[in-house]
Chain A
Amino acid sequence: MLRLSLRRRRALLPWLFLGPGLLWLVIFFAIPLVNQLNVSLQTGDPETGYTFNWAFGTYSEAIGDYHEQFLRSIGYSATATVLCFVIAFPLAYFIAFKAGRYKNVMLLLIVLPFFVSYVLRTVSWQLILSDNGWVAERLRDVGLIGEDGRLLATRTAVIAGITYNFLPFMALPLYVSLEKIDRRLIEAATDLYASRATAFRKVTLPLALPGIFAGSLLTFIPACGDFINAALLGTPRQYMIGNVIQNKFLVIQDYPEAAALSFILMSFILVGIGLYARALGARNLTEAAI
């Protein structure tokens, strides 16, 4: 009898531990998402209030009106993710394999900019790229950009800003997975007459896949919803879907369409993660990303 009650207590214990946190996530994460789906199917306006009437039309309207911003978000984020990878992979490789006793210092240097506010760092780029700034003037001097050419308020500025802000999110997972690689495997490959390039392609790169997977997700997902870079470094012509959602919610107060837009964004990202995980052959999403 005693054993049974003990076993039952044992079965209850994990849920007791999980309870409060899970409840918080259900109330303030899951229910809002369901509620948002509900809001997106309502019609009305801020004055008279909204009523629920399965207004699927909002979705086609949202896609019709803002497919440009959607495609732009995906394009900018994908470009920034690739750039992050190109910049961060050699850096992570150097730290993992060559840095020796400077390893910790270099890792520290990657993390350090995090301690300066994200918004402030972006404002700082705004200052650097500004029309009468030092960089723009020098580039005009040497004729790389025209007399009235601009650095700020261009697509390049927004993509560079996103790349900058999410670079550590790419570099750190890459470093972790490269660091874990057993060097003897690479040695074995070269001992078996694989060239350096072949050993890299067939041993190092596949073993770094979890890091590439995690890094590109950690870069692409926040980049897709970001609106700070486009707001500070771009103009409405560079606005991304995040800017539209924020504007609809906080300024225009067109809640149904804003809710529809963020629902579309979230579904796109979830489907995207699934496909990407398949393509890379990651065994388990959470396992690889964490």
Chain B
Amino acid sequence: MAVEAPPAAARPAAAPSGSRPVPHRADRLRTWALGMWSALALLYLFIPIFIIVLFSFNDPQGRFNFTWQGFTLDHWSNPFANPDIATAMKNSLLIAGISTLIATALGTFMAMALVRYGFRGRGAVDFFIFLPLSTPEVVLGAALLALFLTAGINTGFATIVIAHVMFTISYVVVTVKARLEGMDRHIEEAAMDLGATEWATFRKVTFPMIAPGVAAAALLAAAISVDDYVITSFNAGQTVTFPLFIFGATRQGVPPEVNVLATALLLIVLILMALNVVVQRRLARRDAVRQAAAAADVP
């Protein structure tokens, strides 16, 4: 391999190891341009969110919440004034709760089997679990509806739950698998060497270690379930969920109460995330103090 020597002027002398090279003007310009681009991309992501928050304070004359008419807090004081919204929200939360519970339980055990045991057919099972993720939702929803029609099952609340479990299982498996793969098997082996039964090992060692992964998987499943429109629209029958309500309301204009609920959810998520950061910092500080104390004890 021939390496062409570059002109000396174009190449700064190699910085001595340990010290960082002084950033060049071109470097700074590049970083600045990248930063600007990133800021614009994030702005693009947030433009519709700003509008949604803004219009939760709108005071529409008539049914249309299309143009800015004036500021009001009315919708914030009573977001469930419209009984249809309340029902839709209740359905969405119930469906998300039930389907998340089922999907997380089934998916966690599947992930354990896939990571922990070498068995014949593992590759095939892996691929089979991956398939729903690579199928467009419209196909999943339509195929399931065709099955219910063929079997003569009426679509409604139960069929939505069945559909949601079906398409969130794969997400759960993938998330929990990632956590399991990063885990040290020796800790479990140590527990078993010390006489713990398999069940006790699972309860006292394995589960606490994968719990964050399982929690993340459950959150993901719940978020996907609450937000799903496509698959739900096929299998909902007469049941209305929150996304179905919004889509149905687009023709007459989405009522401001919907914006209020969306904004409130966003606020709750933000507060939870902030709390998480605070708790993590506290824990990190406590650990640091403990470690310092432990180090002080050791001569």
Contact = CB atoms under 8 A, between A and B. Distances in A.
Interface residues of A, number: 90
A40 B83 CA distance: 40
Given A110-B42, A119-B243, A119-B246, A224 B136 contact: yes
Nearest to A290: B174
Given A17-B110, A94-B37, A227-B230, A31 B130 contact: no
Interface in A5-48: 10-11, 13-18, 20-22, 24-25, 28-33, 35-36, 39
Interface string A148-178: 0000000000000000100110010000000
Interface string B117-144: 1010010011111111111111110111
B67 interface: yes
A140 interface: no
Contacts of A120: 52, 243, 246, 254, 258-259, 262
A259 interface: yes
Interface stretch (A60-68, A203-211, A263-271): A263-271
B227 A117 contact: yes
A125 B270 CA distance: 23
A128 B41 contact: no
B170 to A, nearest CB: 8
Contacts, number: 250
A266 B139 CA distance: 7
A224 B139 CA distance: 11
B42 A91 contact: yes
Contact of B52 (A13, A116, A273): A116
Nearest to A90: B37
A118 B227 contact: yes
B196 interface: no
Q: Which of B31, B47, B136, B223 has the most CB of A within 10 A?
A: B136
Contact of A24 (B149, B169, B270): B169
Contact of B106 (A20, A232, A249, A289): A20
Contacts of A28: 144, 147, 162-163, 165-166
B45 interface: yes
Contacts of B146: 32, 35-36, 39, 249, 255, 259
Contact of B38 (A33, A106, A226): A106
B232 to A, nearest CB: 11
Contacts of B234: 246, 249-250
Nearest to B258: A120
Contacts of B169: 21, 24-25
Chain A contact residues: helix, strand, loop or mixed: helix
B136 A242 contact: yes
Nearest to A224: B136
B215 interface: no
A94 B109 contact: no
Contacts of B107: 21
Given A35-B146, A116-B52, A286-B126, A262 B138 contact: yes
Interface string B226-264: 110110011000000011001100100010001100100
B157 interface: no
Interface string A78-120: 0000000001101101110011000000101110111111111
B298 interface: no
A18 B52 contact: no
B48 A17 contact: no
Interface of A: 10-11, 13-18, 20-22, 24-25, 28-33, 35-36, 39, 87-88, 90-91, 93-95, 98-99, 106, 108-110, 112-121, 123-128, 130, 132, 164, 167-168, 171, 191-193, 195, 217, 221-222, 224-228, 232, 241-242, 245-246, 249-250, 255, 258-259, 262-263, 265-266, 269-270, 273, 285-286, 289-290
20 contacts: A15-B119, A17-B110, A18-B114, A20-B106, A28-B165, A30-B128, A90-B34, A91-B38, A112-B269, A117-B227, A119-B243, A121-B49, A128-B48, A228-B229, A246-B142, A246-B234, A249-B145, A250-B233, A265-B136, A269-B135
Given A18-B109, A221-B134, 6 more contacts: A16-B113, A24-B169, A35-B146, A91-B37, A91-B41, A226-B138
The 5 closest A-B pairs by CB, nearest first: A225-B136, A124-B48, A21-B106, A17-B113, A32-B143
